[in-house]
């Protein structure tokens, strides 16, 4: 047994095999890594003889799961960094080549990213790796909402997709969220198969570090402009024209925060199309990887994250606030009590109940006297059972799935293949699925429906 004293109090105890493994992994990293910051970070840890930290980050690998990867941006195999992302993209490519190489070569993949540090860089690594394997890549030319990935896969028939985002995590984190060819987030055992492919393809190819192919190959195209137009039209088409007119007549104004994320320009496009007016929180409307005005960029945190939105609303005399998380797949809402002046921040379960009722109401308006036995709504087991209560009273079907939209998206797809209509799905952590063509939570389409519901109530 070898003892290595780190600082004055920390002791790392490694047996001979562990020490050999650590030395091997350090040498491997030095050979493969090309990013100056992580190379310097390794030199510093070695200089400090910080073997506790080296053992943690070099001998333990971040696991590819059903949410892909998500973790701290830092040195080592246990974190998010250039080398780990390149290894992941290489493994995912190999998995897709085995799964359906014909589809992969024909329709390729879609790649999106948010405004976090390294997001665009890692999206471009992925695009270049696939393009060099003669696979078409639809690489968004700017930041986009996460639900655009699901929509694009379904629209273009892609073999899969990835969104580089850590959603509402702290600024130090990033992630690599993978979708299957069915436009849903991956589920077991796909995650395990991709993980195995990653582990078989760890050595980065020389070309994997080179993104110069971007802009010089017809294999990489930018769908952002067209897809944004199509998405806007799609979401607007799910709002009954009667209620669009009501939005315009009611003239409600909503304060909106993008929480330093990607949502503002997409939210504005959609809400403009359905006659809803928003006043943005100026300091939070543009992507900011530092999330400089919030400790946690998560509207679920309540007044702590909505503080600036509340100040903006009060300054303009608004009583309604809508919010997205940084990748715009979650939706939050707050309303001011005009009598007390207090703000009520609605929970995910409360919003799920209201949106569930609204989606059913809109369906019944457009399909008078339609039978309810083939209508479904979904929620996860951790969420309220309010949809089941409404379903019992109104005659439709409400079922529960395991936790996460990966399960609800796949279940919705299964039901639709059986000829069933899935109107809505929700989860307690302010995730809502309101548009059939998007098999994932979507904070923008949820906002379109909820603001229209507000106009309906306030009319």
Give the up-direction half-sphere exposure of residue 285: CA atoms within 13 A in the CB hemisphere.
Answer: 13
Round to whole Å and give the CA distance between 455 and 282.
24
> Are the beta carbons of 298 and 308 closer than 8 angstroms?
no
Best CA proximity match to 451, nearest among 349, 323, 325, 363: 323
Between helices 16-32 and 51-58, what is the axis angle to 10°? 70
Q: By CB neighbour count within 10 A (0-12 exposed, 13-18 middle, 19+ buried), where does 347 fall?
A: middle
DSSP state of 323: E
Phi, psi for residue 13 in degrees, rounded to 5: -105, 115
Round to whole Å and give the CA distance between 416 and 378.
13
Between helices 443-458 and 348-366, what is the axis angle to 10°? 70
Neighbouring residues of 202: CB distance < 8 A, sequence distance ≥ 6: 87
Best CA proximity match to 433, nearest among 365, 379, 364: 379
Q: Which two tokens stand for residue 10?
A: 């920390």
Pick left, alpha or beta for residue 251 (phi over 0 → left; psi -120 to 50 → alpha; otherwise beta): left
Cα separation values, 146 from 72, 111, 163, Å: 19, 10, 6
Round to whole Å and give the CA distance between 443 and 147.
8
- Residue 152: CB atoms within 10 A of its CB come to 27
Round to whole Å and give the CA distance between 252 and 319.
9
Residue numbers annotated as active site: 167
- Residue 327: CB atoms within 10 A of its CB come to 34
Best CA proximity match to 76, nearest among 27, 29, 134, 129: 29
> Are the beta carbons of 376 and 415 closer than 8 angstroms?
yes
Give the up-direction half-sphere exposure of residue 48: CA atoms within 13 A in the CB hemisphere.
Answer: 15
Note the Cα 180 to chain centre separation in Å: 14
């Amino acid at each position: 047994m070898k003892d290595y004293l780190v600082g004055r109090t920390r002791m790392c105890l490694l047996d001979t095999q562990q020490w050999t493994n650590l030395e091997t992994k350090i040498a491997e990293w030095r050979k493969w890594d090309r990013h100056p910051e992580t190379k310097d970070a390794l030199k510093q840890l070695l200089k400090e003889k910080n073997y506790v930290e080296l053992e943690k980050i070099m001998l333990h690998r971040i696991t590819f799961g059903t949410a892909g990867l998500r973790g701290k941006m830092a040195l080592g195999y246990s974190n998010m960094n250039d080398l780990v992302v390149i290894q992941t993209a290489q493994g995912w490519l190999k998995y897709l080549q085995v799964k359906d190489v014909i589809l992969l070569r024909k329709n390729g993949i879609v790649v999106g990213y948010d405004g976090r540090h390294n997001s665009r860089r890692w999206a471009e690594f992925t695009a270049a790796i696939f393009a060099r394997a003669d696979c078409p890549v639809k690489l968004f030319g700017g930041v986009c909402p996460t639900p655009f990935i699901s929509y694009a896969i379904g629209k273009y028939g892609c073999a899969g997709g990835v969104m580089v985002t850590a959603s509402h995590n702290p600024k130090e984190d990033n992630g690599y969220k993978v979708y299957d060819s069915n436009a849903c987030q991956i589920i077991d055992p796909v995650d395990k198969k991709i993980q195995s492919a990653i582990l078989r393809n760890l050595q980065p190819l020389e070309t994997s570090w080179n993104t110069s192919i971007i802009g010089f190959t017809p294999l990489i195209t930018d769908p952002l402009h067209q897809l944004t137009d199509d998405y806007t039209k799609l979401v607007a088409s799910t709002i009954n024209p009667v209620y669009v007119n009501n939005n315009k007549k009611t003239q409600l104004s909503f304060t909106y925060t993008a929480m330093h994320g990607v949502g503002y320009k997409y939210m504005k496009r959609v809400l403009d199309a359905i006659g809803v007016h928003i006043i943005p929180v100026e300091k939070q409307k543009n992507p900011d990887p530092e999330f400089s005005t919030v400790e946690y960029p998560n509207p679920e945190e309540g007044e702590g994250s909505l503080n600036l939105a509340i100040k903006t609303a009060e300054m303009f005399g608004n009583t309604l606030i809508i919010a997205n998380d940084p990748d715009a797949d979650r939706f939050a809402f707050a309303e001011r009590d005009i009598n007390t002046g207090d703000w009520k921040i609605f929970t995910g379960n409360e919003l799920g109940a209201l949106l569930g009722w609204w989606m059913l109401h809109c369906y019944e308006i457009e399909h008078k006297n339609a039978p309810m036995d083939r209508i479904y709504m979904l929620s996860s087991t951790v969420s309220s059972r309010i949809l089941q209560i409404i379903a019992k009273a109104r005659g439709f079907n409400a079922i529960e799935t395991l936790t996460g939209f990966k399960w609800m998206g796949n279940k919705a797809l299964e039901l639709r293949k059986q000829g069933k209509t899935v109107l809505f799905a929700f989860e307690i952590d302010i995730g809502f699925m309101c548009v059939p063509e998007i098999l994932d939570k979507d904070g923008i389409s949820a906002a379109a429906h909820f603001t229209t519901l507000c106009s309906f109530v306030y009319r």
